[in-house]
Amino acid sequence: MAHDVNWYWQKVEEGFHDDVHMIDHTKKVLEYAQQILSDQTGMSEEEKRRTEVAVLLHDIGILVAEKKYGSKAGKFQHIEEPPLVREITKQAEEDPEFIKRVAYIVGNHHNFSKADGIDFQILIEADMLVNLQNEKIKKNKLEEFIDKFFKTKKGRELARKVYL
């Protein structure tokens, strides 16, 4: 029997130990993802749950990457995250296709060109909604970026509301 989002949230908190920044970041990304998901009428409940699980686990390897490589860079996260995702989703008794998909999304979430589905797109948009606050983009370029990067109607709306 697959587990709910709360079970995965516990795994995230265990994985991040006392790293308040990472816990807070994950919570914010999940909140944005849930807002975008609420607008997705074509997705099944299982697809939405899979998206939420990918969102919750999207940075699960960041501390391991930092410890192992001395860096939180995406390329190192992409090495460390898929095995952790597979381990956690197997513990949750997810089916093999679910595990494979979540590991793919999490293991590529900084490679925007690999976004091959709405589940993947929602994760990168929700993550970007949080991360954009740290970017130094001029307002006219920001509007252009939002229109190009955000493909969901709700994601674009949120980005415009928060950043423009």
pLDDT (tens digit, 9 = 90+) per residue, 85-101?
999 999 999 999 999 99
Q: Which 8-state DSSP code applies to residue 70?
A: S
pLDDT digits (tens, 9 = 90+) for 38-66: 999 999 999 999 999 999 999 999 999 99
Q: How far apart are CA 16 and CA 145, in angstroms?
A: 31
Task: Indicate the burial class of 142 (C-beta count within 10 angstroms; 0-12, 13-18, 19 or more).
Answer: middle
- Band (pLDDT 50/70/90 cuts) for residue 136 is confident
CATH number of 5-163: 1.10.3210.10
Q: Evaluate if residue 20 carries a pLDDT over 90.
A: yes
Chain-wide mean pLDDT for the chain? Answer: 94
Q: Where are the domains of the chain?
A: 5-163
Q: What's the residue count for the chain?
A: 164
Does this model's pTM top 0.85?
Answer: yes
